[in-house]
Amino acid sequence: MITWRVPRLFRPLLNGLNIGKAQPCKVAEHSQAPATLQPERSFSSTHRLHDVPGDPSSAERVTVHFINRDGEKLTAIAKEGESLLDVVVNQNLGIDGFGACEGTLACSTCHLIFERDVFQKLDAISDEELDMLDLAYGLSDTSRLGCQVCVKKSMDGLTVQVPMEVSDLRRQMEVGKQSKQ
């Protein structure tokens, strides 16, 4: 029996573009104003870069290593509660094309591959994330999207692999424009 279903890519459109669901790492800040006065995502990350050693928030720091496509090991100090996508963006790590949709679960460019023991300890994966992973190149049994994985203290020393290839629709569109000229 053949069953028809809405292509996974279009589910966010049918669900009213409820993009707020795509940010699983909401953590209350200890020393900031109430969340109602803060924008959901700031375009400036300088407030995160100015934390000083000895500050109470420095106890929430977690070291994360990314193995880039070229084999280079990139190390970042993450804040507990951030998504791995936020870590890459806020630390300005040189991972080409990473997080093209800015964490809205509309692409798979923040695809990461975890070690099996770490993968098994991660929070449950959502249907929306599974849908986007279906579009990812180099998918493995331990693949997750960095925008959906929240940093925890228990992840200190974590190493994740960036897949060798990335599916970025923007590049495909650019190639198509160049071939028509």
Domains of the chain: 61-171 (3.10.20.30)
Residue at 98: amino acid letter? F
List, as one string, the DSSP characters of 1-41.
-------GGGHHHHTT--GGGG-------SSS--GGGS-SS
Cβ count near 69 (within 10 Å): 16
Which residue spans within 51-146 are E strands per DSSP? 61-67, 73-79, 111-113, 143-145
H helices present in the chain, as ranges: 11-14, 46-49, 84-90, 116-119, 127-133, 169-180
Contact 56, 150 (CB under 8 A): no
Greater confidence, 60 or 85? 85
Cross-strand partners of 150: 83
Distance CA(144)–CA(135), nearest Å, equals: 12
Question: What is the average pLDDT across 13-25?
Answer: 50
The tokens describing 149, both together, are 């994985």
122-171 per-position pLDDT tens digit: 999 999 999 999 989 899 999 999 999 999 999 999 999 999 876 555 55
Distance CA(153)–CA(121), nearest Å, equals: 12
CA-wise closest residue to 87 among 160, 167, 30: 160
Distance CA(64)–CA(87), nearest Å, equals: 9
- Decide if pLDDT at 7 tops 50: no
Greater confidence, 177 or 172? 177
63-121 per-position pLDDT tens digit: 999 999 999 999 999 999 999 999 999 999 999 889 999 999 999 999 999 999 999 99
pTM: 0.66
